């Protein structure tokens, strides 16, 4: 069998999200089918891929194919060049991993749908963006025999919104980032802790939020939660917001924090160097994820692996991943977010959550992810029982 993958997010200057997940998956997956060939299609030169350790394209049955298309107006690379290359290479199955599939599909495809936040979270996308997102998903689903989702919650929302039968959906959950977990058990020196605090302007005790620019991550709710704390309680609380890259978004959050009198408790950071993430998580007093919606909630597992307690909203995907190992809050109620943050400041409760998190994260591995993805491929190719995999099977580490 010959499998093609749209690997643009994997081969990037700074792989994030889907790219990091695909890197970890494809470090394992090809070795499970040594008689198959895997072609990673990309557009950027390989030299721009950044510092990628143990790249999957070094495996004997994986090869890269760069499709250069200067300018790439009207999404021609994805809509024409990618499917054309897949046909030229005799690909049996093309995996499109980012919520969309080409209009023209001369080969069989599977598509990963990560979440439906643009359709479910007010303010996440404009009406035009919502319409384009819906059209893209409808197109992908209509021509795909198997759709991959990272969680039962995303599968259920997909089935509800688009009338997809559950039998067509394969659940392929992720696992904690391998580069973050590689150093999770190594003690952090006080020198390293101080370097992190100095580099990012952090207090002795800080909480971490990967709110980024997306409204579904609920940075506003976190800032409002800080404002509900009494001044004496707030004096020992600082939240570092990572991934605030758009000037307009930064200005919005700065204005909100200033208007509520909590600006000193907020550190609005852009992207941080990837190599600093493990220490940034491990040195924190906890990771705060009061999201309005998530497709999976990978930062939950990264925090668990790093021994950081977690505050999470009760949105279905986060509860599915965290189980009983998080302090839960109502994403729409800042007072409950504040209460959950205060709970993490209690040493006994924090230690209890860290222990539960360590136990919970053991149920997720990249081997299980790779196995589940292969079963999805085989279902799409018609060489596996369409009744598998089950949600229980893919969670076995």
pLDDT for the residue 95: 97
Identify whether the C-beta of residue 382 lies closer than 8 Å to the C-beta of residue 163.
no
β-sheet bridge partners, residue 170? 148
pLDDT tens-digit series, residues 145-176:
899 999 999 999 999 999 999 889 999 999 99
Specify the length of the chain in residues.
397
Domains and CATH numbers, the chain: 2-175+365-395 (3.40.50.2000), 178-361 (3.40.50.2000)
Looking at the chain, the whole-number percentage of residues with pLDDT higher than 70 is 94
* Cβ contacts of 216 within 8 Å, gap of 6 or more: 117, 121, 124, 291, 292, 293, 294
Average pLDDT over residues 344-355: 98
Q: What is the sign of the dihedral through the CA atoms of 364, 239, 271 and 202?
A: negative
pLDDT for the residue 389: 44
Identify whether the C-beta of residue 39 lies closer than 8 Å to the C-beta of residue 3.
yes
pLDDT for the residue 181: 87
pLDDT at 45 over 90: no
């Amino acid at each position: 069998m010959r499998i093609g993958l749209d690997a643009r997010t994997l081969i990037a200057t700074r792989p994030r999200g889907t790219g990091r997940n695909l890197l970890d998956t494809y470090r394992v997956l090809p070795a499970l089918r040594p008689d198959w060939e895997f072609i990673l299609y990309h557009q950027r030169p390989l030299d721009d891929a950044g510092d990628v350790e143990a790249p999957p394209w070094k495996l004997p049955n994986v090869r890269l194919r760069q499709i250069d298309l200067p300018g790439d107006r009207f999404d021609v690379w994805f809509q024409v060049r990618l499917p054309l290359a897949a046909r030229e290479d005799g690909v049996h199955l093309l995996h499109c991993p980012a919520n969309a599939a080409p209009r023209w599909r001369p080969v069989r495809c599977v598509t990963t749908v990560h979440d439906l936040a643009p359709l479910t979270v007010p303010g996440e996308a404009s009406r035009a963006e919502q319409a384009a997102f819906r059209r893209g998903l409808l197109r992908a689903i209509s021509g795909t025999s198997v759709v991959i989702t990272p969680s039962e919650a995303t599968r259920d929302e997909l089935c509800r919104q688009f009338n997809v039968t559950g039998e067509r959906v394969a659940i392929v959950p992720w696992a904690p980032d391998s580069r973050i977990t590689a150093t999770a058990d190594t003690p952090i020196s006080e020198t390293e802790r101080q370097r992190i605090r100095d580099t990012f302007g952090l207090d002795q005790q800080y909480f971490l939020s990967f709110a980024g620019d997306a409204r579904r991550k609920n940075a506003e709710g976190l800032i409002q939660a800080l404002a509900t704390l009494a001044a004496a309680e707030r004096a020992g609380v600082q939240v570092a917001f990572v991934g605030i890259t758009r000037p307009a978004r930064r200005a919005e959050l700065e204005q909100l924090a200033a208007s509520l009198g909590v600006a000193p408790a907020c550190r609005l950071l852009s992207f941080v160097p990837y190599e600093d993430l493990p220490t940034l998580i491990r040195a924190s007093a906890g990771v705060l994820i009061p999201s309005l919606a998530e497709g999976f909630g990978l930062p939950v597992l990264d925090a668990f692996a790093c021994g950081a307690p977690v505050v999470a909203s009760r949105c279905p995907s986060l509860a599915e991943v965290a189980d009983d190992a998080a302090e839960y809050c109502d994403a729409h109620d800042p007072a409950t977010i504040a209460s959950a943050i205060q709970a993490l400041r209690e040493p006994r409760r924090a230690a209890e959550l860290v222990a539960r998190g360590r136990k919970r994260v053991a149920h997720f591995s990249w081997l299980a992810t790779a196995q589940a993805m292969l079963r999805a491929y085989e279902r799409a190719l018609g060489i596996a029982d369409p009744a598998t995999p089950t949600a229980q099977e893919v969670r076995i580490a």
